[in-house]
Chain A
Amino acid sequence: MAVGPLTLPILSVITWLPFVGALLIMFTARHRPRAVRWIAVVTTGISTLLSIYAYATYNHEAAGFQFYEKVPLVPPLGISYELGVDGISLLMVLLTSIIISAGVFASWTVAVRSQEFYALLLALVTGVYGVFASLDLFVLFLFYELAVLPMYLLIGIWGSTGDVRPRGIFAWAYRETGVGTKEYAAMKLTLYLLFGSAFILVGIFALYVSAGAASFSFLELEAAVFPLGLQRWVFLAFYVGFGILAGIWPLHTWSPDGHASAPTAVSMLHAGVLMKLGAYGVVRVGMGLLPEGAADLVWLVGGIACINIVYGALSAMAQTDLKYVIAYSSVSHMGIVMLGAATLTEAGLNGSVFQMFAHGVMTGLFFALVGLVYEKAHSREIGKMGGFGNAMPGIATAFTIGSLSSLGLPATAGFVAELLTFLGTWRSGHRWWLFPAVAGTFLTAIYVLRVAKQIFWGPPSPQFQHLEDARGPEWVALVVLVLVLVLFGMAPGLAIAPVDTATVPLLARIVGP
């Protein structure tokens, strides 16, 4: 294993620093909101710098898992604290850093219980980092739960309640479950994700037992050979389990409600990074450990991804609440991620990983913007807004750039991701996937531009006065995210070069060299 020039356990530091920040916030910053924010900025900032450092020093020639650390935790059961990153997870770690550093600034104005808010947020981030960096499935699962559970509190306490009218034959069920409230959204999200994690746990144990090596280590399980029947159903379990988090149809409905109700930074993290956890899990754990099972079931993964793309885009078009539009666009874009992975081609898989990154940044930007618009205008109803461009040119510009990336305009990261995925589909075993994918991008162009036009263009709406542009810390979030979108759109090699070192061996395992 390559040992970095620093003997510092860099991945552990990246992972645990936010957690340390959370503890510091809880125990030292009582009733000092400013200190709370600075602790958050500093801890996530150091993590970000370290992940950029790791990204820059990753050895492309050697490839494989680097920055490796291992500490046995429960030797008899083969559980150990084992970290390491390859090209794919490295990019995801970088994405997490970008989103959380923007998220910290985007939630600068949280007024209620900001201490607890930031502490939970940082704890959640540790979970996310942990999932991306873990090489031990048991520890990975622990981190996964750590990433999911704070969500319940974050949405339940700091969320906002939307407006859903109970209608149709099931109206009674809507009234009884309180659809639209933040409590409903929080509970729905948590139950869904826990439901998924049950599948994951079963899958992990099945592999552990079947391999017989008494080890949860990814590297050792990777070396084991599993019978095809087992591979099939375990892959299915991983696909459902992780896929729920990635928003696969028809198990996606937690995501619009959850994202719409969540406070800004939580939506950013959730749509930006947590949904990627799901896709990452399918690719890393599902496809990485069960190559033949994956090859057998890609028709399902890709088919559902196509539904996701078109269905998500059409649903987004039908929404009248700004946050729901963005949330459904995530459902649609996650379809591209899953589709790229399902193509089992180099271009497609690179496109998939790149789309995880691009969509993470883009949707983070979107939710930051929606949060700002909501904060200034106190409304999420698209129909009521209009002509905001005059009062908030900065927000309008950032929104436009986000929209363009969303519809896959060149020179933004979204384009490269979609193009690679398209290229992959036609070379995969299921060529027709190309058409729903391209149709999805066209539908995306329709709904995002429609929304942008309605909100920012046209004559100023008389219902809103004294609107103002973003200020101070809010700018930091917007500028960082916009720059990343454009930078990676213009120089995609920055991301694809390391990712390619990981996808090529992965594909070699699935479809042969």
Chain B
Amino acid sequence: MIGLQAYLVLAALVFAIGLFGVLTRRNAVGILLGIELMLNAVNINLVAFARFNGDLAGVVFTLFTISITVAEVAVGLAIVIAIFRVRRTVEADRLNLLRG
């Protein structure tokens, strides 16, 4: 029997990988993938806790998150495409219009 600990470590690793991707990736699509990893890390946690506590709420939340994530990816990619159309690039470093 694999303990809860192992799931949590896995989730933390996936989260860290996702965060690393978000912070270091130049390409906007890569950043989106990183975000996706982080969200799934959270999902792993939720499912794990649901299983070990016998509470189905976590599973419900996970389903919820997955559906939201789909929408988020759709919107995110749409924005990336829109930016690409305007600026001809999806390099995150160049997208600094908000610079003070």
> Is A in direct contact with B (CB under 8 Å) within the complex?
no
- On B, residues with C-beta under 8 Å from A are none
